[in-house]
Amino acid sequence: MTPQRRQHSARALAPGVAMALGAASAPGAPVFTLVTQQAGINARFTPNGYPGENSVQTGGVAVGDFNNDGWPDIFIPQGGTGPDKLYINQQDGTFADEAFAWGVARWTRTAGMAAGDFDNDGYLDLFLVNYGDFPFPVATGKSVLYRNLGPDANGQFRFEDVAVQAGVNDIFGVVGGMGATFGDMDLDGDLDLFVSTWINSPGGNRLYENNGDGTFTRVTAPRLPSPANNLRGFTPNFVDLDGDRYPELLLTNDFHTSRLYRNLGPDSEGRVSFEDITASAGITHDCNGMGATVADFDRDGRLDWFMTNIYVPTAVPACANTLYRATSSAVGESGVPVFEDIGLARGVGNAGWAWGCTAVDIDNDGDTDLATTGGWPGWVNEPARLYINNGSGVFSDQAAPAGMAWTGQGRGLVHLDYNRDGKVDLLFVERNQPVRLYRNDSTAQGNFLRIDLDTSSHPCLAPRGVGSKVYVTANGRTQYQQLDGRTSFLSQSEMTLHFGIGSATAVDSIEIEWPDGFRTTRFVVPANQTVTIAASPPADFNTDGRLNFFDIAAYIDAYRAQSTAADFDFDGQVTPKDVMVFIARYLTPCP
């Protein structure tokens, strides 16, 4: 599918303007309670036989609704010291380990992982960068792609490993893969895969195109520019930064090798490629990028890029976590913003030897907060951080007063609302120790709205709305999130979008810009619930799930009224050309 280009919406707000549009209620201080055992989780990541320093710098977790019941489940590998754990949410505040029943109780030496419906069958699959199952020696060709088979006749779900058939079992030809992420790089409606490696080996970072038939083709060399040096990759993210809907590839890498690759869109044969704009975009300050998360931290309508780093203030220049703030200027004519590093200035630069991170509204006041974790054998007293946003993109660490005053060897970190009470919880993977599930027990928080996206009726779009842009307006203020793979260091948070809305008892509107450029809008949605918004093919004009005469009649009415909804070529005008495009989309929903 090569979708029509549309004018990029002028969503960006000048600094400070968003604050003036309406203040959220002042939240109470966050309060967290350690509930790992109470929730029935006994996982412990202890690496067994990992190669080299990967035995020190691994430990991830993946969150996903694997059985489609609307509640987040948790996959936690055990590092080859025991069978991996698959905790299925029991909907009562507890989990049950059902790894054996699901067919995933293997003793894998897993590094990074990514969850996504790669075969578009409606069930969430799981990819693992694996160095080989214990007790066998580490080896190449051991990565895992668990295909979710869905429920059998008795309602039992099960996974099967199809990595060999899919062509993604041998990612590098060397043992050393790290992070992974799914994303629809070519907007053809299926999920492509990127996998990074930290091993100092040429060509270690690999891009795989989904063929749409359950298999992938490695397309790294023809699609990505050859780097001048070996990229020591940790965390990849697919995110659209320039407004053309084709996602850029953001690589958070060690040793000054992070990269920003701009997606050039399809060529005459529909194949996308990327160009390296790292330097011109200002991605030049991170010393040793490890974890990453992308969010609009200052509410200006542009996505910022946070990376965890080792804090070394004596370095020249100083090394610290980087918060790359997107500016209004752009790289050439591309529309990709130029970034400026404001990590130290905004209070998030020092997190010790940081690894995992996640970005979400912890206190439901309408802005995005941060959490990090880290450590190294020589850095043993570095606490986890809980950076609370004051509403203008300035942060303060409130981990200790919030009840998360612990020091350890943290690696993976994800957010999820495991008990669906509207307050976001945090899960940490601590090397050689039990994982830590912290329940958000704050009592004086703002209201919220949680959003799931459903693209099952629209075969042109990536499953579960990956790549969609979501705008929520409440109290006169608009928040923006983009549904990327929710990937951070070796880990993946839940894909339900969480919006804190302060004192608002309803949101004025929800606007979804789907990856094909068409929009769905909902008005006056009550707060404190999870809503599912479904996409329909563009020509399903009355959104009843069927293409018939009633859609044609509805479109004719919109055209006669000169409604912007009838602008099918996205040129800002309603003309006879739009009628022709509508007819074409009616006859061929996925051009």
Cα gap 145→193, rounded to integer Å: 11
C-alpha 529: how far from its chain's center? 21
What is residue 333's predicted lDDT score, i.e. its pLDDT? 85
What is residue 15's predicted lDDT score, i.e. its pLDDT? 32
Tell me the pLDDT of the chain averaged across its residues. Answer: 92
Label residue 505 exposed, middle or buried (CB < 10 Å: 0-12, 13-18, 19+): exposed
Q: Which helix (H) or strand (E) holds 165?
A: helix 163-166
What is residue 23's predicted lDDT score, i.e. its pLDDT? 38
Per DSSP, the residues of 69-104 read: SSS-EEEE--TTSS--EEEEE-SSS-EEE-HHHHT-
Residues 142-145: contacts with CB under 8 Å, at least 24 apart: 142/169, 143/168, 143/169, 143/170, 143/171, 143/177, 143/195, 144/106, 144/108, 144/110, 144/169, 145/118, 145/169
User: Other C-beta atoms within 10 Å of 452: how many?
Assistant: 18
- Take residue 461 and report the two structure tokens written for it: 């779009």
Dihedral sign computed on CA atoms, order 217, 220, 224, 225 = negative
Q: Which residues of the chain have pLDDT under 70?
A: 1-27, 200, 202-203, 228-229, 591
Q: Where are the alpha helices (DSSP H) in 315-422?
A: none
Q: Do residues 389 and 367 make contact, with C-beta atoms less than 8 angstroms apart?
A: yes
Residue with tokens 């690496």: 47
Phi, psi dihedral angles at 55 (to 5 degrees): -70, -20
Query: Which among 434, 401, 438, 443 is positioned nearest to 419, based on CA atoms?
Result: 438
Nearest-5° angle of CA 132, CA 134, CA 135?
120
What is residue 228's predicted lDDT score, i.e. its pLDDT? 62
Q: Do residues 425 and 415 make contact, with C-beta atoms less than 8 angstroms apart?
A: yes
What is residue 29's predicted lDDT score, i.e. its pLDDT? 84
What is residue 591's predicted lDDT score, i.e. its pLDDT? 67
What is residue 547's predicted lDDT score, i.e. its pLDDT? 86
User: Omega into 51 within 30° of 0, i.e. cis?
Assistant: no
Phi, psi dihedral angles at 81 (to 5 degrees): -95, 0
Phi, psi dihedral angles at 281 (to 5 degrees): -90, -5
What is residue 202's predicted lDDT score, i.e. its pLDDT? 66
Dihedral sign computed on CA atoms, order 581, 586, 588, 591 = positive
Cα gap 34→57, rounded to integer Å: 24
Dihedral sign computed on CA atoms, order 103, 107, 113, 118 = negative
User: Omega into 135 within 30° of 0, i.e. cis?
Assistant: yes
Residue with tokens 């200052």: 298
Q: Do residues 417 and 72 make contact, with C-beta atoms less than 8 angstroms apart?
A: yes
Query: Which among 40, 19, 134 is positioned nearest to 90, based on CA atoms?
Result: 40
What is residue 537's predicted lDDT score, i.e. its pLDDT? 86
Residue with tokens 């578009």: 120
User: Other C-beta atoms within 10 Å of 259: how many?
Assistant: 24
Cα gap 103→191, rounded to integer Å: 23
